[in-house]
Amino acid sequence: MYFKCAVVLSILIHGAWSATEQLKFPETFMFGAASAAYQIEGAWNESDKSPSMWDKLLHDRPEVVMDRSNGDVACDSYHLWRRDIEMLEELGMNMYRFSISWPRLLPTGFPNYISEDGKNYYNNLIDGLLEKGIQPMVTIYHFDLPQSLQDLGGWANPLITDWFADYANVVFSLYGDRVKYWITINEPMGMCDGGYGEFAAPYINDPYVGQYLCNKNTMVAHAKAYRIYDELYRDKYHGKLSISTLFFWFKPVEPEDQEITDLTIDLWASRYSHPIFSKEGGWPPKLERLLNENAKKQGYRYRLPPFTPEEIELVRGTYDYYALNHYTTRVVRRTKPGEKAGAWFFYGSPELNVRFDKDPRWRTTEIDWFAFYPEGLREQLNWLNTTYDVKEIIITENGIPTLNSGLVDIVRLDYYKEYLEQVLLAINDGINVTGYTAWTLMDNFEWLGGYVSNFGLYAVNFTHPNRTRTPRESARYFSKVTRSRMVHPNVDETKLNYVK
């Protein structure tokens, strides 16, 4: 018996290993890196750009950021975008995911005035990428709302669904001829649960009402933008649209914790996916019931504002692919009698009375919220594939933070190797994963984490006026993966077009 198990185990382990040693990413697979406007551009008040809600928050309340820094200059990509393209070339990337700053393009927040400089900045970036054979993947909104719209209620005001749709329409009209991959909104979870949970701008503490208004409004705003694309641009430009979802993977601590784990997945991710990607649309029913019961007990009408039947139809099916932001995995269990729930959203949920944490067997890093469980990515891709009728999945963020890792960031290199291996295995499982944009191209402004932790393939010298970018070991590794299309590449380094 023991012998039989050992043989099976050995086949499983060595089989998988030699399989990934030989497996290659398809020629059509898109490798890229990702970034976001506020995190890299700087030039916060250059030309006619108006302040975003992040500018306002961090100018008024620098103490909310770990090192009291902000994105005023960041990586200065507003001026150094040519170098960014060069780095993508060095890495051998054929896709670059970046976001457009709403207050840079539409300083009033509305299409009554389009900034010439803002428009040209993104035109230059897109043209520069295409000249090098790099597909632009554009995120229309990545957390940086014009402050003037925040003053009108921001994402808690249902009218934002039209404001966003009008902004998206301008973006499609300006860049749709060249951009084929779109993300309407990045991570509503970060915006809503973060923004109304004091993890992000607008830094409002309103976890019972504001968070859920934002939740609904992001779904409708995304859908309106998608419908505009369908109506006015799809026939001409044939682009693909989605919304990117931040989705830790969750596993039960014990088999009996599966039900609460499913509910945790609903709260974390299906709340932002079910309305769009499920056949029936609307909120995930079990979760909706439970949250609304909680709300009623506290004297509220509901947590999740109901969709009208028309809204369900408007939102349902508004995707061409699933855009997944995956970082790590958690194990889930119910709280024990007398025990407090873990803090929302990395460690648990008082709404569900659960705790989730790292499995003690997993490799941890110096960053508290992080653990290595690469298999989680493959498990999650399989879950997505069977739960929703998605024909294509793109991993739009995946990466690991380090503290002062210098240039020899072996932990990041290992992370990419092991997570990419799981992507390869998922493709081998038959899942149509067509692209992967690593988070992130270079160290940048990590929101409330400031410049303390970094995720970059390239290190950035934030005290140098040129914001010098230098490749890390992980970048060297990545550039071999893109050229060999293998996770265990055997590439002659001297042949790499690599700037030392």
Name the active-site residue from 41, 351, 397, 421.
397
| CB-based contact 229:242 (threshold 8 Å) | no
Reduced to 3 states (helix: H, G, I; strand: E, B; else coil), residue 137 is strand
- x/- string (CB under 6 A) for ligand BGC, residues 437-466? --x------x--------x-----------
Nearest to 304, CA basis, from 413, 188, 383, 202: 188
Report residue 170 CA to chain centroid gap. Answer: 23
By CB under 6 A, is residue 187 in contact with ligand BGC?
yes
By CB under 6 A, is residue 190 in contact with ligand BGC?
yes
H helix or E strand, kind and range, residue 332: strand 329-334
By CB under 6 A, is residue 192 in contact with ligand BGC?
no
Cα–Cα distance, 75 to 78 (Å, whole number):
8
Site for ligand BGC in 266-325 (CB under 6 A): 325
Site for ligand BGC in 324-343 (CB under 6 A): 325
**Quick one: which segment of 8-16, 186-194, 426-434, 462-470 binds ligand BGC (CB under 6 A)?**
186-194
Question: Minimum CB separation from ligand BGC for residue 181, in Å?
Answer: 16
Q: Name residue 183's beta-bridge partners.
A: 139, 242
- Nearest-Å Rg of the Cα atoms of the chain is 22
Question: Minimum CB separation from ligand BGC for residue 232, in Å?
Answer: 28
Cα–Cα distance, 364 to 243 (Å, whole number):
30
By CB under 6 A, is residue 71 in contact with ligand BGC?
no
Reduced to 3 states (helix: H, G, I; strand: E, B; else coil), residue 128 is helix
**One-letter identity of residue 473:** E
Dihedrals φ, ψ of 288, to 5°?
-60, -45
351 is a catalytic site residue: no
Order of strands, sheet of 329-334, starting from the edge strand that comes earlier in the sequence: 249-252, 329-334, 354-357, 348-349
Task: Candidates 69, 70, 148, 186: give the one binding ligand BGC (CB under 6 A).
Answer: 186
CA dihedral over 80, 82, 84, 87, signed as positive or negative: negative
Dihedrals φ, ψ of 329, to 5°?
-130, 155
- Specify the residue, 65 or 246, whose C-beta has the smaller distance to ligand BGC: 246
- Specify the residue, 448 or 496, whose C-beta has the smaller distance to ligand BGC: 448
Name the active-site residue from 187, 288, 351, 446.
187
Nearest to 328, CA basis, from 246, 441, 408: 246
**Quick one: which segment of 61-69, 184-192, 202-210, 255-263 binds ligand BGC (CB under 6 A)?**
184-192
Cis-peptide into 284, omega within 30 deg: no
Question: Minimum CB separation from ligand BGC for residue 487, in Å?
Answer: 23
By CB under 6 A, is residue 345 in contact with ligand BGC?
no
Site for ligand BGC in 5-44 (CB under 6 A): 36, 39
Cα–Cα distance, 294 to 171 (Å, whole number):
40
CB atoms within 10 A of CB 300: 14
How many residues touch ligand BGC (CB under 6 A)?
11
- Specify the residue, 246 or 304, whose C-beta has the smaller distance to ligand BGC: 246
By CB under 6 A, is residue 402 in contact with ligand BGC?
no
- Specify the residue, 190 or 376, whose C-beta has the smaller distance to ligand BGC: 190
- Specify the residue, 74 or 425, whose C-beta has the smaller distance to ligand BGC: 74
Task: Candidates 397, 409, 421, 443: give the one binding ligand BGC (CB under 6 A).
Answer: 397
Q: Name residue 435's beta-bridge partners.
A: 30, 394
| CB-based contact 87:458 (threshold 8 Å) | yes
- Specify the residue, 185 or 295, whose C-beta has the smaller distance to ligand BGC: 185
**Quick one: which segment of 86-94, 153-161, 183-191, 266-274 binds ligand BGC (CB under 6 A)?**
183-191
Nearest to 187, CA basis, from 228, 215, 161: 215
397 is a catalytic site residue: yes
Cα–Cα distance, 132 to 95 (Å, whole number):
10
By CB under 6 A, is residue 246 in contact with ligand BGC?
yes
- Specify the residue, 196 or 439, whose C-beta has the smaller distance to ligand BGC: 439
Encoded tokens for 132:
């090098």
Give me the residues that bind ligand BGC (CB under 6 A), please: 36, 39, 186-187, 190, 246, 325, 397, 439, 446, 455
User: Which residue numbers are catalytic?
Assistant: 187, 397
